[in-house]
Amino acid sequence: MNLLSLLGKVGSMTMLSRILGFVRDMIIARVFGAGDATDAFFTAFKLPNLLRRIFAEGAFAQAFVPILAEYKQTKSPEATREFVRHIAGMLTFVLTIVTAIGVLAAPWIIHATATGFANKPDKLALSADLLRIMFPLYPVDFAVVICRLDTQHLPQVPNPRLHAGAAEPVVHRFRPVPRALLRPADYRAGVGGVCRRRVAARIPTALAGQTRVSQPAQAGL
């Protein structure tokens, strides 16, 4: 695929995601206003979202992919697979520990990051509950990162479908909008609904990370 064409597709998806993020913030501000529930949601959302940026699509990806490409070029396929398995096991362990700490220490985390909530026990409790709901969802992002590592294509011409991963931020930023516009009676809010939205948001990225190895398994299904 032509580099400029790929750059244009990824860049357009990034620009669209930023525009939709702005629209999302406008709609949330219009529907919910500046209230305790809105403050609690955004406070609880910040820390897990930071971890998502670090482990799923930020510093980790930028540091890991060049190393993986070097392994692909200089090491045997078995050594490359062993390297990926080692990194996957290490990060799974780290994310499990971080998630457990986040769930158990949610009230103290909120108290430390939002000191102004101390004089509002209900607001503090709501923020802690939301943080407990959000924290376990982010290890799912790491699983998607492993799926998107197409080691069969790294050293060669860029995979034509790799730009599909850039569509994930578009869905990630837009998915709260329908829920904000619907009344509570129109849907059943809960952890199951949140999980379904997160999985739906990751579908473009998962499609971008399909490898040749997975194709026989899909044919068997």
Torsion of CA 162, 167, 190, 104, to 10 degrees: 60
Res. 122 pLDDT band, cuts 50 70 90: confident
Please report whether residue 137 resides in a domain.
yes
Please report whether residue 221 resides in a domain.
no
Decide if pLDDT at 48 tops 60. Answer: yes
pLDDT at 145: 59
Give the pLDDT confidence of 51-79 residue by residue, as tens digits: 777 766 656 667 777 787 788 888 888 88
DSSP 27-83: HHHHHH-S-HHHHHHHHHHHHHHHHHIIIIISHHHHHHHHHHHHHHHHS-HHHHHHH
Q: What is the domain range of residue 177?
A: 3-210
pLDDT at 160: 46
Are the CB atoms for 44 and 110 separated by under 8 Å?
A: yes
Give the pLDDT confidence of 98-120 residue by residue, as tens digits: 888 888 988 898 888 888 887 88
Least confident range from 29-38, 121-130, 202-211: namely 202-211
pLDDT at 139: 66
* Number of structural domains the chain divides into: 1
pLDDT at 152: 44
Higher-pLDDT residue of 86, 2? 86
Give the pLDDT confidence of 177-203 residue by residue, as tens digits: 776 666 554 444 444 454 455 444 444
Neighbours of 136 (CB within 10 A): 17
pLDDT at 220: 43
Q: Determine if residue 190 is left, alpha or beta; phi over 0 gives left, psi from -120 to 50 gives alpha, anything else beta.
A: left
pLDDT at 219: 42
Please report whether residue 154 resides in a domain.
yes
